[in-house]
Amino acid sequence: MDDQVVAVIENKPLGSSYGLLSLDAARQAQAARPGQFAMVRILGTGGVLLRRPMSIYDVKPDAAPHSGPRLIQLLYKVVGRGTRLMAGLKPGDPVALLAPLGHGFFVEDYLEQAEQADEVLHVAGGIGIAALLMAARELAEKGFKQRLFFGGRSRGDLVGAVDFRPYLRQIVVVTEDGSCGCRGYVTGPLEDHLARYPDRRFLLLACGPWAMLQATAELAGRYGHRLLVSMENRMGCGLGVCLGCCIRVEGEGHGAYQRVCTEGPVFWADKVVWERGTLPIT
């Protein structure tokens, strides 16, 4: 993990409210593992105080044919002041980047679980997709069969799906308004799939809004499959010191509350206590 001032290489708008930001951050790109995230601070503007957490969507080599990754890419959705400033970044602008952070998908017996599974199912809600691309690539390189269930409010919210194509056998698209794929929630076709193959063993990886993760956890539990969830919460520091990002998780740790930034963001879903009465983050 490193704290660096890095330059924007490219900031590509994707429709009206999404974008892909490429940052020149070789050292951090080389250290990044699937499921890890970055804390981003936009410098030189008085707009926001705290850094914003963003999944490391991808790492890319630069044009030169040598060496390893050089760019860190962040896929973002404009939801408020910080992400609006992010959308305004131009090539050459400086950004303070603290990365890579957190335990990614490669926690404990994750690969073992994948090996025992017939298929890995990715479940993404909206911008949650950003946490899954590097995992999909890594698993594809290891020869795992994979499928993606991708839900969004509308057609325009299904950004990034094309990037997954090389690694998956199928992408199932769902929108709440029916503008693309079938209409409804992502958990609908996911449940159909689980019900259709009662004898198969799946490993599920999911990222998205809390309600979607909770519903996915309920399905995974009911059908007896293991599920890794990448959790979101407001973050003050990303360093494990403010304790602002804690969620309730069974077992040891900082009491019963664990830090999404440090013990997470990826947790086994059956360990997460989906507290009733918890306020939505947004």
Partner 1 sequence: MPTVRDQKAKVVSDEPAARDNSQPAGDFEPSIEVEIAGVRFQNPVLTASGTFGYGQEFAHLIDLNRLGGICVKGISAAPMPGNPPPRIYETDSGMLNAIGLQNVGAKRFLEEKLPFLRTLRARTVVNVFGYTTEDYVRCIEILNDGDGIDAYELNISCPNTRCGGMVYGNDPKLTEEVVAASKRAARLPLWVKLSPNVTDITVLARAAENAGADALSLVNTFVGMAIDVETRTPRISNVTAGLSGPAIKPIALRMVYQTARAVRIPIIGLGGIATTEDALEFLIAGARAVQVGTANFYAPDTSIKIVEGIRTYCRRKRLHVDDLVGSLQVPTPNVEKATEY
Ligand X SMILES: Cc1cc2nc3c(=O)[nH]c(=O)nc-3n(C[C@H](O)[C@H](O)[C@H](O)COP(=O)(O)OP(=O)(O)OC[C@H]3O[C@@H](n4cnc5c(N)ncnc54)[C@H](O)[C@@H]3O)c2cc1C
Q: Which residues pair with 148 in a beta bridge?
A: 122, 171
Which of the 8 DSSP states describes residue 126?
G
Strand pairing category for 18-24 and 71-77: antiparallel
212 to 271, contacts with ligand FMN by CB under 6 A? 236, 242, 244
Whichever of 5 and 195 has its CB closer to partner 1, that residue is 5
- Shortest reach from residue 201's CB to ligand FMN, in Å: 42
Give the nearest distance from C-beta 48 to ligand FES in angstroms.
15
Tokens of 255: 């009491």
Q: Give the 3-state secondary structure percentages of the chain, helix then strand then coil, rounded to 5.
A: 25, 35, 40
Interface residue with ligand FES among 5, 79, 195, 241 (CB under 6 A) is 241
Q: Is 236 exposed, middle or buried (0-12, 13-18, 19+ CB in 10 A)?
A: middle
Q: Which does 59 bind (CB under 5 to 8 A by kind): ligand FMN, ligand X, partner 1, none?
A: none
Q: Which of 16, 49, 141, 162 binds partner 1 (CB under 8 A)?
A: 49
For residue 217, give the nearest of 179, 166, 135, 272 by alpha carbon. Answer: 272
Distance CA 209, CA 214 (A): 9
Identify residues 199-228 at the interface with partner 1 (CB under 8 A).
none
CB of 254 to partner 1, least distance (A): 6
Q: How far apart are the first and last CA of the chain?
A: 28
Which residues within the stretch 113-142 sit at the binding site for ligand X (CB under 6 A)?
127, 130
**By C-beta, is 74 or 89 nearer to ligand X?**
74
Q: Is 243 near ligand FES (CB under 6 A)? A: yes
Contacts of 213 (CB under 8 A, 6+ apart): 125, 206, 207, 229, 231, 269
User: Both tokens of residue 234?
Assistant: 């407001």
Binding region for ligand FES (CB under 6 A) out of 157-165, 184-192, 236-244, 248-256: 236-244
Left, alpha or beta for 108 (phi > 0: left; psi -120 to 50: alpha)? left
Answer for which of 120, 134, 245, 249 binds ligand FES (CB under 6 A) is: 245
- Given 234, 250, 270, 271, the residue binding partner 1 (CB under 8 A): 234
* Contacting positions for partner 1 (CB under 8 A): 1, 3-7, 9, 24-25, 41, 43, 48-51, 62, 91-92, 94, 96, 233-237, 239-248, 254-257, 275, 277-282
- The residues that touch ligand X, with contacts defined as CB under 6 A, are 37, 48, 52-55, 74-77, 79-83, 127, 130, 232-235, 260, 265, 281-282
